[in-house]
Structure 1
Amino acid sequence: MTKGEPRPFDFREIAALDDTAILLRDWVAKSSSFFSEFWDEMTGFSAQLSMGIVSTESYGKALEAVSKESLYTVADFEGQMSMLLYADASEYQVIVSEVLGIDRPEGDRDLSPVEQSLAEMFITELGDALCEGWMGAQKINIETSPIAKDPRKTRLYRSKDLMTQTMIEVTLKEGKAKLNLLMPKQPTCDLLDTLVDSRSAVESAKPSERLIASLPIDVTAVVGTAKIPMLDLTSLQPGQLIKLDQRIDQPIIAYVDDRPFYKCWPGRSGNTQSIEISCCLDERANGEVQ
């Protein structure tokens, strides 16, 4: 084919643009925060889930390029469908090395029993995060099988069955790990269609109490203020003192969203400055004690 000559359109490429791909990306993006919470508890670092390119391929064709040394697990969606997750051992070593706090081993080798146990724990928590991030009205449950070698041996579907093929990328502090996914195309579309149906049936979605409770709110404690002539301001030098309008025997005011909210006393906790709440303020009473 010469340069500039039109090429036949591969209809499998449109899979990356259809509703299924969009809903899958939204699902993984929402699940990422739940997985990051688990990862932070395990390692002290955050993690992020993202989805790669989405395409359509037959089951047999998709597995032709997979190495027999690859590791796989089967995720069952409450009997509705099964999803095949597979990756090289080196991808799992990125994950377990961060859990153990050690450098990633060099060269290709099998997972040790301890590493495989940690990898299976990771897969279980990934499934739990996907359950938490599910955007449908009804909850789903995902059960994962133990990790085994050579996904080509699986007989989940017929060789000619069309599959949705994609990848979940796990971004960690020390690197990235990639897990390949194969999902039956029609059952996946049917499952994701329930999201569209539930969204259209609900007029307005209410945020979860867990989400509301985790929203950050700025609290600002004002030690005091001062008015300085411009001439004096330009001549200030390090070491000079500025007298504030706040007496040391009176509590300072802490503001929430620019509104006076607490009376408090300044202090410290370890090496960190802190405040001790003295009383709450009722803004409707113009700053008087509630």
Structure 2
Amino acid sequence: MTPAPFDFRKPPPDELVRQVTAWVGQACRRSASGWAKALAYPAELKPGAVEATLASAALAALPDDAVGIAAATPDPADGSVLVVLQRPVLLALLAGIVGETPAELPPDRELTDVEASLIEYLARELFLDPLEKAWPANDPPRLAPGGAAPPRAAWGAATGEPILLISTTVTTPVGDAPVQIFVPRKGRWERLAGPGAARQRAEAAGSADQQIAALVEEMPVVLSVVLGTADLSMHDLTGLGSGDVVILRQKVSQPLDGLVAGKRKFRVWPGAVGTRAGVLIDTRVKD
């Protein structure tokens, strides 16, 4: 047998690292549909290594153009999760959110006010929702994202805190780029390796009701917005041509109807996000 050197700075993976590695792998697989819907170009999130380290070491190794997006659960004992990526990569993802396909990685610059307003949506759709849905126990985290900031400022906790450093890769038409996720070794994250974690996973996987509920939550639903209606005679309808104006019942001072399966579910205001049409939810219509 040939002895191999042992690096005490990087001990072999413990049970928590193994559980988090499996969790992140499942989250990346589940992210495919969300990324396809959110972005104007093909992209995917690929899992990488999970390493036990200190926040200070991970922060010190980040490039100068890195930005962080912190997300916290309602339980303060969990601490905050931090998603870190380089700003040009963030700009490319934001371009995809508003319907644009960049020909190359954008140059590094500060975010515009419009781009900054989309950070929470981007973080939830591309990273946090897949992590929540892939959670291997029956108490999934409900992560609320904040805005983008320098990683040290976004982290907020002690830099000497032990963390799990999750490495992933974003693959886009303009190339591959790393995305790192800082997960503190405490609260619900630490409990993944506890004796009750396996039992919770078995209960979650074995519950038919939970499986059905998960399938229902993943079903696509079409939301249609009706601009307005008008009564026309057949004579008027057949006589319509380019340039004719039809007056609708809908008043411009009132929100539009948002329909799901032909039934009015929301009242919405029309608008635009970048090059795409969008709506702002005004009220939910009770059944």
Q: Please, what TM-score do these two structures have when normalized by structure 2?
A: 0.60
Cα distance, 1:87 vs. partner? 1.8
Q: Residue 15 of structure 2 is aligned with which of 19, 25, 43?
A: 19
Q: In the alignment, does 2:73 pair up with 1:77?
A: yes
Structure 1 vs Structure 2 CA RMSD: 3.3
Q: In the alignment, does 2:49 pair up with 1:37?
A: no
Deviations 1:219-256, CA, capped at 9 Å, x for gaps = xxxxxxxxxxxxxxxxxxxxxxxxxxxxxxxxxxxxxx
Cα distance, 1:89 vs. partner? 0.3
- Closer/same/farther in 2, CA of residues 32 and 159 from structure 1, 3 Å limit: closer
Question: Deviation above 6 Å: which 4+ runs of structure 1?
Answer: 212-215
User: Which stretch shows the higher mean deviation, 72-81 or 6-15?
Assistant: 6-15
Q: In the alignment, does 2:123 pair up with 1:123?
A: yes
Q: Is the 8 A contact 1:137 1:198 kept in 2?
A: yes
- Closer/same/farther in 2, CA of residues 110 and 24 from structure 1, 3 Å limit: same
Which residue number corresponds to residue 87 of structure 1? 85
Secondary structure of 1:40 counterpart: helix
Secondary structure of 2:169 counterpart: strand
Cα distance, 1:146 vs. partner? 1.0
Q: Is the 8 A contact 2:138 2:204 kept in 1?
A: no
Cα distance, 1:129 vs. partner? 2.2
Q: In structure 1, what is the Cα distance between the partners aligned to 2:3 and 2:27? A: 43
In the TM superposition, 1:46-195 aligns within 5 A as: 47-67=43-63, 69-79=65-75, 80-99=78-97, 100-125=100-125, 126-148=127-149, 150-154=150-154, 156-187=156-187, 188-191=189-192, 193=194, 194-195=196-197
- Percent of matched pairs sharing the same residue: 18
Secondary structure of 2:139 counterpart: coil
Cα distance, 1:163 vs. partner? 1.4
Q: Please, what TM-score do these two structures have when normalized by structure 1?
A: 0.59
Structure 1 unaligned segments of length 5 or more: list them.
216-290
Q: In structure 2, what is the Cα distance between the partners aligned to 1:45 and 1:155? A: 30
Cα distance, 1:40 vs. partner? 2.1
- Closer/same/farther in 2, CA of residues 174 and 119 from structure 1, 3 Å limit: farther
Structure 2 unaligned segments of length 5 or more: list them.
220-287
Q: Is the 8 A contact 1:75 1:83 kept in 2?
A: yes
Bigger RCO of structures 1 and 2 (CA < 8 A, at least 6 apart): 2
Secondary structure of 2:82 counterpart: strand
Secondary structure of 1:52 counterpart: strand
Q: In structure 2, what is the Cα distance between the partners aligned to 1:36 and 1:108? A: 27
